[in-house]
Amino acid sequence: MHDDRTLIEARLKRVLDERIRPAVYPESVPLDVAVWTAPGEPVPVAEGLAAHPEPTKVGAAWGAPWATSWFQVTGTVPTEWAGKTVEAVLDLGFDENMPGFQCEGLVYRPDGTPVKGLNPRNQWVRIAAPATGGENVHLHIEAASNPVILDYHPFLPTQLGDKETAGSEPQYKLARMDLAVFDETVWQLVIDLEVLGELMQELPEDSGRRYAVVRAIGRALDAVDLQDVNGSAPAARAELEGVLSTPAEPSAHRISAVGHAHIDSAWLWPLRETVRKVARTTSNMTALIEDEPDFVFAMSQAQQWAWVKEHRPEVWAKVKKAVADGRFVPAGGMWVESDTNMPGSEAMARQFVHGKRFFLDEFGIENDEAWLPDTFGFAAGLPQIIKAAGSKWLLTQKISWSQTNRFPHHTFNWEGIDGTRIFTHFPPVDTYNCSMKGSEIAHAAKNFKDKGVARHSLAPTGWGDGGGGTTREMIAKAGRLRDLEGSATVKWETPSAFFEKAEAEYPNAPVWVGELYLELHRATLTSQAGTKQGNRRSEHLLREAELWAATAAVRVEEFSYPYEELDRIWKTVLLHQFHDILPGSSIAWVHREARATYAKVADELNGIIDAAQRALAGDGGAGTLVFNSTPHTRDGVPAGGARPAAIDGQSAIASRADGGYVLDNGLLRVEIDARGLVVSAYDIVADRETVAPGQAANLPQIHADFPNMWDAWDVDEFYRNTVTDLTEVDGLEPGEDGASVRVVRSFGDSRLTQVLSLAPGSPRLDIDTEVDWHETEKFLKLAFPLDIHAERYASETQFGHFYRATHTNTSWEAAKFEACNHRFVHMEEPGWGVALVNDSTYGHDVTRAVRASDAGTTTTVRASLLRAPRFPDPETDQGVHRFRHALVPGAGIGDAVREGYRINLPERQVAGGAEVAPLVTVDNDAVVVTAVKLADDASGDVVVRFHESRGGRAKATLTAGFPVGSVDVTDLLERPLTDAAAPERSGDGVALALRPFELVTLRLTRA
């Protein structure tokens, strides 16, 4: 037989596009359309329904950027359509290739009942099935004219990302507003042909199954009367029954399809628009659940559920019913799908606390899985946090985006810094927006790296990013793929059902130890410095607020612990840790609002802190108390206590012959040359130089920074090929305090001012940097070349630290040319080390070189300060920024931990005479307390969370500064752990024995 396969494939495409798909709606009549545009921000539904619209028509332009238009569509079903299925086809001007990234709508009945959402891949509303004829149609559409930011020519700078700069030009034209007859037989024929056509493309060219499908398609197309598609569709479908009913091979890969709509809580749209995106999507999904008995939909991010509850109570009622039926599944157990690299220890814990508690309170459901398909890599401390929250599984997708190395597993055990292992799955379908295409299903089966020992994978199915969710077409395709020869099998299942099967079939899954580093989007550790500083400051203010409010509530009878305020503020901070807000990859509007929100949060938290400290300090005495919020004694003030500070020693400044200066406090001698660079940082106690010979530290460096794509997200390795050292100075002068030097530099259109200071009694050089930044597509770093031989270095992460190589022996190590730290990075030779601590930066790089002069090793650490990408925010980081760093020569890892807290938690001075004893004390500095608070259930119990911070075993005693009743070891949600050994007590003290990096939460009742 001659091979006419390609001829049939081409025929299929044309007949589908030009004849069969148009026949899905064989008859239509236009609807009458009127429109009212809301002034300013979106209005309540009742106001939109009550507005008086003006007539408009198909083809009319509508929708200024970010505006809301309320369309009213009315009409009557023709009497001759009696007995037929009738739908409204409502095309707002969609580009079907961009679901979630442009205009959208939510359809209401006149009484305000939501019907369903409209998006490029979901333009229909069922009117009657069957129709009686003569039905009146009256619908309202709340239509959002969200501009297209990520267009077909992506990453071009645009002013559309903020309503203040977007202008008023209409973005869309109404394309279709019709009543139409829906021919379900033709629609089913479309699905039959799409499924078989897509399957055919994936089968081996020489396989009998491929030719069987080709011949069946050919016969079906022969059966289609192109002048009467609707009349001939049943005959065409009959020709396909045989190939559609042939079962899959027994060894076929098995896919658990989970209905899904990954909705970014903010990205190329502001937070307020996400509230509406979630309402549209959940309306569609609850409607699908009613129509499709096998369909299961999972939605993560408790914040998004809370938005539906608060803003769309009618939709919420449908959601609650679907949850009760087990069809609409809360997933992930986190407040948002957050970044996991940059959030601090407590913040990462609270993501699970607030997320899981919301689902428990609302539905009595507890999540066993963490659900983070789009997060940009995973910190090595996360497994322990997942387990401490009572969960045991993790799903993500993003590691498939890595540019250099392919991850070796799809199902595996992920081991964190403390040894905790979490069963983890990367869906081999390589997308969190699966649409049930044959190419996607085939890719999942071929790509699955654990073939032979496992056979289950998961496919998050539905349009995401901007929402939309699963469509009836996807469900119909999945039905045909349930048991189809040549394909993996597909079955709708909940995430927990998938994980139970996957874990049972793979009890000895391989182990991956350490961080899950994404070899992409590395610049998200630096972009939008103001957002990152707001996050870091908020995290530490929350620590202070909880600590001092708890202390005051226990010690001062009339002081009330601000439960509701702290709960609300935590949720606000957690929301802004979403993986496109904190990483700096959202539009200008998002970051403008974030900066204002962080300022409001700081004011409110400072108010709580101030009230608690004043209550504790009392009215008596004319002295000054210093409150120490760090977990270590500081200048004689105990951790978590307050008393007058005691500082020993003094600092001196002298001139250098070259016009520079020398700072000396007896512990550290720092020489600053005439360029304002640190040419020596001499550890007097250890008799050891810190700065590499012939080099200078505190060196600002600037690079050209124009990545190949994803401007705000990416920095490509070639940025290192060109660098400019900023060594010219405008001014260099000693500070008035006699212990500091001020340096001023100009470069490009920007200005950099630094104050280098050496405090009495302190073995660290403090560096305060102010940058008035007006560069474009540049990357600013601060370099410290150190005379230290280190093949690895430590970066702080949640509840501990993680080691990375300084060398590039393998492609895995070379790919980590930009990485994340929290408060410190630390390099060490046996017996001596150096720490670089910071108050608000995350990105950094570490490189090593061997000097020709003395064969010594120079290890250079560089803190990343600022970038200037132009997409999606063309004004990224323009303006004034302030950073604090400190170089700590002679530091062990414990010193790095201590100094990291110190720079982030400045002392607070309060007038008063009543010294404040700590609410709890720990007698081993290796054990770091990360939270002291009252229990969330308002019982008055004191909750203390702590961990071993140095990577070794630690014994300690935690002593309460109040009479203690019972002591329980709990999970993060403050629930006693039934399998935990009872704490060993002596009076109000608790004996602790911690393994490396072990995290523990204790709940202490007050006797």
Give mean pLDDT, residues 90-113.
Answer: 96
**Which residues pair with residue 587 across a beta bridge?**
none
Within 10 angstroms of residue 766's Cβ, the number of other Cβ atoms is 20
From 162, 339, 374, 705, the catalytic residue:
374
Per-residue pLDDT of 730-774, as tens digits, reads: 999 999 888 999 999 999 999 999 999 999 999 999 999 999 999
Give mean pLDDT, residues 185-210.
Answer: 96
pLDDT band (50, 70, 90) for residue 649: confident
What distance in Å separates the CA atoms of residue 833 and residue 399, rounded to the nearest whole number?
33
What distance in Å separates the CA atoms of residue 686 and residue 667, rounded to the nearest whole number?
9
pLDDT band (50, 70, 90) for residue 401: very high
Q: What is the mean pLDDT of the chain?
A: 97
Give mean pLDDT, residues 715-744.
Answer: 96
pLDDT score of 608 more than 90: yes
SS3 124: strand
Going across the sheet that includes 984-986, the strands are 920-922, 954-960, 989-994, 984-986
pLDDT score at 488: 98
pLDDT score of 2 more than 80: no
pLDDT score at 147: 97
517 burial (CB, 10 Å; 0-12 / 13-18 / 19+) is: buried
Give mean pLDDT, residues 944-973.
Answer: 98
310 burial (CB, 10 Å; 0-12 / 13-18 / 19+) is: exposed
Per-residue pLDDT of 295-335, as tens digits, reads: 999 999 999 999 999 999 999 999 999 999 999 999 999 99
What distance in Å separates the CA atoms of residue 393 and residue 898, rounded to the nearest whole number?
33
pLDDT score of 620 more than 70: no
pLDDT band (50, 70, 90) for residue 921: very high
And the tokens for 393? 């599984």
Q: How many residues does the chain have?
A: 1007
**pTM to 2 decimals?**
0.97
277 burial (CB, 10 Å; 0-12 / 13-18 / 19+) is: buried
The better pLDDT of the pair 4, 673 is held by 673
Give mean pLDDT, residues 856-867.
Answer: 98
pLDDT score at 980: 85
| Alpha-carbon distance values, 241 to 16, 217, 219, 484 (Å) | 18, 11, 11, 12
pLDDT score at 152: 87
DSSP-assigned letter for residue 392: -
Which of 50, 445, 413 has the alpha carbon at shortest distance from 252? 445
* Percentage of residues in the chain having pLDDT higher than 90: 96
Q: Which residues of 214-236 are buried (b: 16+ CB within 10 A; e: fewer)?
A: bbbbbbbbebbeeeebbebbeeb
pLDDT score of 562 more than 80: yes
Name residue, tokens 């199902």.
411
pLDDT score of 1 more than 70: no
pLDDT score of 927 more than 80: yes
Name residue, tokens 């333009």.
123
pLDDT score at 613: 97
pLDDT score of 230 more than 90: yes
And the tokens for 65? 């950027």
pLDDT score of 4 more than 80: no
pLDDT band (50, 70, 90) for residue 538: very high
Per-residue pLDDT of 138-176, as tens digits, reads: 999 999 999 999 988 899 999 999 999 999 999 999 999
Segments of 496-647 assigned E as strands: 511-513, 624-627, 642-643
The better pLDDT of the pair 621, 220 is held by 220
Is 4 tagged catalytic? no
pLDDT score at 517: 98
